[in-house]
Amino acid sequence: MKEFILIFRHEDGQKIASPEQIEVWMKQTMDWIGGIAAQNKFVMGNGLPMEEAMVVWHNNVVTNGPFGEIKETIGGYIIVKADNIEEAVEFAKGSPVLQGNGNSVEVRQIARDGKH
């Protein structure tokens, strides 16, 4: 079985939604992840808080950001086990992140032991 990373891109929820709304999204996210874990196909995952974020550029130039104000910001990821990219895409389709217009989940296979 292969491993795939599902990368969430969306705005910073803290800036556009109430704590109650965020709690609803958290529950939905846990229901989604719980469904994958119940199939023994969840490997790991993390949210990536948008405060205190920095970007390091060529020549060690360091800037603040990303600020999470655009929908291309990475907000988190999970790693799943799947037989193929199609199955991983089916998992991605269930992500509550996709409720937001313009948000996306990028699905990428993880290279293991130098093989793809």
Residues that bind other proteins (CB under 8 A): 27, 30-31, 33-35, 37-40, 42, 45
Strand partners, 47: 76
| Shortest reach from residue 25's CB to other proteins, in Å | 13
Task: Please answer whether residues 4 and 79 qualify as being in contact, where contact means their C-beta atoms are separated by less than 8 angstroms.
Answer: yes
Q: Of 2 and 32, which CB lies nearer to other proteins in the complex structure?
A: 32
- C-alpha 62/C-alpha 54 separation (Å) is 7
| Shortest reach from residue 39's CB to other proteins, in Å | 6
Q: Of 78 and 107, which CB lies nearer to other proteins in the complex structure?
A: 78
Q: Of 23 and 69, which CB lies nearer to other proteins in the complex structure?
A: 23
| Shortest reach from residue 104's CB to other proteins, in Å | 23
| Shortest reach from residue 40's CB to other proteins, in Å | 4
Burial (0-12, 13-18, 19+ Cβ within 10 Å), 2: middle
- C-alpha 50/C-alpha 77 separation (Å) is 13
